[in-house]
Amino acid sequence: MAESPVHLHLDCASGISGDMFLGACLDLGLPVARLEEMVERLGLDGVELRVERAKRGGLAGVRFSVLRDGRPVEGGGSEGAAHRRLSTILRMIEKSGLGSGVVETASALFRRLGEAEARVHGVDVEEVHFHEVGADDSIVDLVGAAVALDHFGPARVSSSAIVVGSGTVSTRHGVMPVPAPATALLLQGVPTTPGGAAGELTTPTGAVIVREFVDEFEPSGTDRPRRVESSGIGLGSRELADRPNALRLQRATPVVSTAGPWRRVAVLECQLDDATGETVGYAAESLLEAGALDVFTTAVQMKKSRPGVAVTVICRPERSSELAERLLLETGSLGCRRTIVDRLEAERSTSTVRTPFGDVRIKRAAVAGRFLGAAPEYEDVRRVAREQNVPFREVYRATLRAAD
């Protein structure tokens, strides 16, 4: 029997930082040896890792920290490593030999972070000098997060709303409001709450981990049923007055009925009576390119018997604000409606088959282990048909025969 897919869930009731995330991963079973090997491959001479059991607010967990020459490195405290450019960090990762999956994920984390910093400071991304996030501890945190994701191999990562804190935080650029500008930018479209604690609870490294890893956010009180197999607790560096400063990471398997898994989606809708067909078509293409799961139109009759078109967009809830804004900008609509619903989704997989005309991907679907059907990937069939100068239908039928 095949193993159930791994589902990781982040409980961010006290925010999230890179060191808290790694502490939770270590408590959940990530071998510290994998992180030690990572430090060596990155060439971070003089850097050591400290993993210790501790408590925050009476809650026990793992406190993970980075040392340089025996002293803790916190928030860019390592002066010799506090001014690395993005290109320098990407070269370190590329040359590490950590494996293609880890290199790709770690590079994506730093690129996303670099783009946020560049927008905040109004400079080109290649001009960004990382300060706090360019120090040894942040490099260990983000590349370590990529190692952790590779170790657990989750099929899905979900999260609670992110508690960001309140008040102000001191940075190398001065005193900033919480969340700090880069953190706020990274968390656009993500459900957040200030929480009751003063100070910064979610850091830029924590924010970029959330933005890059999390597939779905589950609002409090509407969490999906899941079977928790084990939990890990990662502890923050300070005590909080009103709660344990801890991040909980749960390893779970989804509770699936015989009918199949349900996932939450947002449905965005608006009606148009003054948009051209080209405008509507372009808007649909733009929304799909921006991450919508589906876009379709319906002919409707509007006020004063005017013919119009209803545009419906289906997307993940965490993308709904961003896509609703795009919908209005592209169509000129003065507003749209949003409904959150549960959608039954078939289990999907993709593989590549060899046909007489070339390799073509084929998509398969099943519900509760029962086969639903298979279909060749349209873009592959189209490409092969054009390259080989044969009819589309011939390539399509050949792909189905190869799949059988």
**Residue-wise pLDDT tens digits, 295-308:** 999 999 988 888 99
CA angle 341, 347, 348 (to 5 degrees): 110
What pLDDT score was predicted for residue 46? 87
Tokens 């897919």 -> residue: 5
Give the Cβ contact number of residue 77 at 10 Å.
Answer: 16
Domain match, 27 and 134 both: yes
3-state secondary structure of 85: strand
For strand 262-272 and strand 347-355, is the pairing parallel, antiparallel, or unpaired?
Answer: unpaired
184 falls within a domain: yes
**Which of the residues in the chain have pLDDT under 50?**
1-2, 76-82, 132, 220-223, 257-259
3-state secondary structure of 13: strand
Where is the domain boundary, 203, 224, 254?
Answer: 254
- Domain, as residue range, for 357: 347-403
Give the Cβ contact number of residue 2 at 10 Å.
Answer: 5
Give the Cβ contact number of residue 59 at 10 Å.
Answer: 15
Domain match, 161 and 109 both: yes
What pLDDT score was predicted for residue 79? 44
Domain match, 319 and 351 both: no
CA angle 267, 272, 277 (to 5 degrees): 105
208 falls within a domain: yes
195's tokens: 């929480």
Where is the domain boundary, 205, 235, 254?
Answer: 254
Domain match, 220 and 317 both: no
Domain match, 104 and 216 both: yes
Give the Cβ contact number of residue 226 at 10 Å.
Answer: 18
229 falls within a domain: yes
Please tell me the pTM assigned to this model: 0.65
Domain match, 340 and 351 both: no
What pLDDT score was predicted for residue 75? 52
382 falls within a domain: yes
2 falls within a domain: no
97 falls within a domain: yes
Domain match, 200 and 118 both: yes
Q: How far apart are CA 314 and CA 319, in angstroms?
A: 10
Domain match, 52 and 111 both: yes
Give the Cβ contact number of residue 359 at 10 Å.
Answer: 12
Q: How far apart are CA 304 and CA 327, in angstroms?
A: 24
Output phi, psi for 172, to 5 deg.
Answer: -70, -15
Where is the domain boundary, 216, 231, 254?
Answer: 254
The number of folded domains in the chain is 3
- Cβ(225)–Cβ(255) under 8 Å? yes
Domain match, 187 and 204 both: yes
